[in-house]
A and B are shown apart, each in its own frame.
Chain A
Amino acid sequence: MIEDTALVRARGLVKRFGDFEAVRGIDVEVRRGEAFGFLGPNGAGKSSTMRMIACVSPRSAGELRVLGEDPDRHGPRIRARLGVVPQQDNLDNELTVRQNLHVYGRYFGLPRARVRAKAEELLEFAQLTDRADDEVEPLSGGMKRRLTIARSLVNDPELLLLDEPTTGLDPQARHLLWDRLFRLKQSGVTLLVTTHYMDEAEQLCDRLVVMDGGRVVAEGSPAELIRSHATREVLELRFAPGGQDAAVPLARELADRVEVLPDRLLLYTGDGEAALAAVQRRGVQPVATLVRRSTLEDVFLHLTGRSLVD
């Protein structure tokens, strides 16, 4: 038997809500064992895509196979093998931390003894053993998030769907969460993550697609995306407000691409130090300068634009 290594395969996937087209025909393939990211601004269609993959939102058109099966026909069977961490925690506030895990396991039809053992293991994993018998409501945001992730693992899912897993958490909580997700990946769970945080995408994802306006605008590993959509380095020149205009012609001369921001010029170039030296030779006096490596954020802003999307 040929093992199909694509856990998710979408071809021309479309989601419409009335007249509004949230997802406009995307092709995606997620392979077993990888961490795959959907990157994009708010309203890019990430969550709609995730809901279709989670088999809780029927597709409007196109093809979709999750774990080799059609969500329209085998939704419950697929969901039995998925873990889902929704954008907003929907923990059961009427139950304690431990009971949340118990009851969720029972929804999957797991026997009571199995659920009890699994809950202890997951409490340990989520570092919530001390709070096991507490109510859910007073837990911190990070703890709730960890519990939601623990809950999503109760059925030993092959594919874990995480919709903006660390939005709204403080840096400590985010790092702890990333650490847990790394461990899951090491143990062979395939991760599917949506995020609008570049550092998260760089930390977690082997491969990702950048979505904008319901379409996939770029695809690759973080390093590949930086290589193909940005230069190796960026020279940032900071000016007093309005002062940067005079330097724009020179900047265009020196760099592959220039972005003019209200207080700064960004010069995309292979060699930032050389560009900086050239700027200084020509007598331009910025308030501050910075040479740095290009990041995924540069790629993201280049591809999806700087204007606010709401």
Chain B
Amino acid sequence: MTQDLLTRPAGEPAPPARTGLLLRVLPPGLYAGRARMLVERSLLVNRRMWLVVFTGFFEPLFFLLALGQGLGALVGGVTGPGGESLTYAEFVAPGLLAASAMNGAVYDATFNIFFKLRYAKLYDAVLATPLGPMDVAIGEVTWALLRGGLYSAGFLAIMLGMGLVGSAWALLALPAALLVAFAFAAVGMAATTWLRSWQDFEYVQLVLLPMFLFSTTFYPLSVYPGPLRVAVEAFPLYHAIELMRGLTTGAVHWGVLGHAAYFVVLAVLGVAVAARRLGRLLLR
């Protein structure tokens, strides 16, 4: 160790002390505690982010106008999670909020990461530095979540502007959306490590589309007969929608924490699997 200090050129920072929780738990080859450098890279690459925010602002607006105002005029009222009566726009908005957090995160974590992994060879270059696969997984998932989070913030602002927020609990919808985005990004990135070609992205669509349509986004769970309800309750997006709908309508109960815990578990598993798979693919 003394020799190590002697041979390091003057001014070179010492390797970070392994004090953080993750740093103590994980082997040094896996995680150098510098995941933020990948976020820095993404920020540099996406300096024209305002365009993304701009389109991200209009997409939910169009959805809300078409479904909430347009279709909502035909549907009339819906019974909310707390038994209260909601307009259809109030009902569908949190569902779309959850879906947009999911879509934003999953698209970034699948398409973009697949390209960087298989074609740009970005992670090969990164792993030649002191960074490890866990830095890559956390850094890239964090970026996907920031992006998903921006969409969600825009969406919430529109909901507020259209008078679709019924409770101060809605303030928590933004951190909740970040958590949902993190979990979906992590699982998306893990899944991406198994994809072999662009054709395989059909599988991603195959999972996302039914989840978007059937996870009580557009109508309550009571529409389904008993056995189907259980199936729908297994969808991750269902939990995200329950979480959002509870918060924006003010129907908050302990179960909301359960939904949040579901995403914490999903996020941790996703990052762990993604890092492990990256290591297996690139550090052979």
Interface of A toward B, CB cutoff 8 Å? 1, 3, 17, 54, 56-58, 67-69, 72, 74-77, 79-82, 84, 86, 88, 90-95, 99, 102-104, 106-111, 114, 155-156, 158
B2 and A107 form a contact (CB under 8 A): no
A92: chain B residues at CB < 8 Å are: 41, 120, 122, 125
Task: A52 to B39: give the CA distance in the assembly, Å.
Answer: 28
Task: A34 to B111: give the CA distance in the assembly, Å.
Answer: 44
B222: Cβ under 8 A from any A Cβ: no
Task: A91 to B120: give the CA distance in the assembly, Å.
Answer: 8
B202: Cβ under 8 A from any A Cβ: no
A107 and B28 form a contact (CB under 8 A): no
A107: chain B residues at CB < 8 Å are: 34, 37, 126, 129-131
A17-B284, A108-B130 given; 13 more Cβ-contact pairs under 8 Å? A75-B132, A76-B15, A76-B28, A81-B8, A86-B128, A91-B125, A92-B122, A104-B125, A104-B129, A107-B34, A107-B130, A109-B15, A111-B13
Task: A93 to B16: give the CA distance in the assembly, Å.
Answer: 29
For the complex formed, measure the closest distance between the CB of A19 and the CB atoms of chain B, giving whole angstroms: 15
For the complex formed, measure the closest distance between the CB of B20 and the CB atoms of chain A, giving whole angstroms: 14
Q: From residue 6 to 32 of chain B, which have CB atoms closer than 8 A to chain A?
A: 7-9, 11-13, 15-16, 28-29, 32
B3: Cβ under 8 A from any A Cβ: yes
B284: chain A residues at CB < 8 Å are: 17, 57
B40 and A103 form a contact (CB under 8 A): yes
B16 and A109 form a contact (CB under 8 A): yes
Within 8 Å by CB of A1, from B3, B11, B126, lies B3
Task: A77 to B129: give the CA distance in the assembly, Å.
Answer: 9
Task: A1 to B6: give the CA distance in the assembly, Å.
Answer: 11
For the complex formed, measure the closest distance between the CB of A132 and the CB atoms of chain B, giving whole angstroms: 15
For the complex formed, measure the closest distance between the CB of B52 and the CB atoms of chain A, giving whole angstroms: 15
For the complex formed, measure the closest distance between the CB of A73 and the CB atoms of chain B, giving whole angstroms: 8
Residue of B nearest to A157 (CB): B9
Within 8 Å by CB of A90, from B28, B29, B122, lies B122
A56: chain B residues at CB < 8 Å are: 124, 127-128, 282-283
B13 and A109 form a contact (CB under 8 A): yes
B28: chain A residues at CB < 8 Å are: 74-77
A1-B3, A92-B120 are contacts. A77–B130 as well, Cβ < 8 Å?
yes
A58-B283, A86-B128, A156-B9 are contacts. A106–B40 as well, Cβ < 8 Å?
yes
For the complex formed, measure the closest distance between the CB of B137 and the CB atoms of chain A, giving whole angstroms: 15
B84: Cβ under 8 A from any A Cβ: no
B121 and A79 form a contact (CB under 8 A): no
A56-B282, A74-B28 are contacts. A108–B129 as well, Cβ < 8 Å?
yes
Task: A56 to B282: give the CA distance in the assembly, Å.
Answer: 8
Task: Give 8 CB contacts A-B under 8 Å.
Answer: A56-B128, A56-B283, A76-B28, A76-B132, A79-B129, A102-B44, A109-B15, A109-B32
Residue of A nearest to B116 (CB): A94
Interface string of B156-169 (1 = CB under 8 A from A): 00000000000000
A81: chain B residues at CB < 8 Å are: 7-8
A57-B284, A156-B12 are contacts. A90–B129 as well, Cβ < 8 Å?
no
A57: chain B residues at CB < 8 Å are: 283-284
Within 8 Å by CB of A76, from B3, B45, B130, B282, lies B130
Residue of A nearest to B46 (CB): A94
A90 and B283 form a contact (CB under 8 A): no
B282: chain A residues at CB < 8 Å are: 56
For the complex formed, measure the closest distance between the CB of B1 and the CB atoms of chain A, giving whole angstroms: 10
Residue of A nearest to B45 (CB): A94
A17-B284, A94-B45, A103-B41 are contacts. A86–B9 as well, Cβ < 8 Å?
no
Task: A175 to B189: give the CA distance in the assembly, Å.
Answer: 43
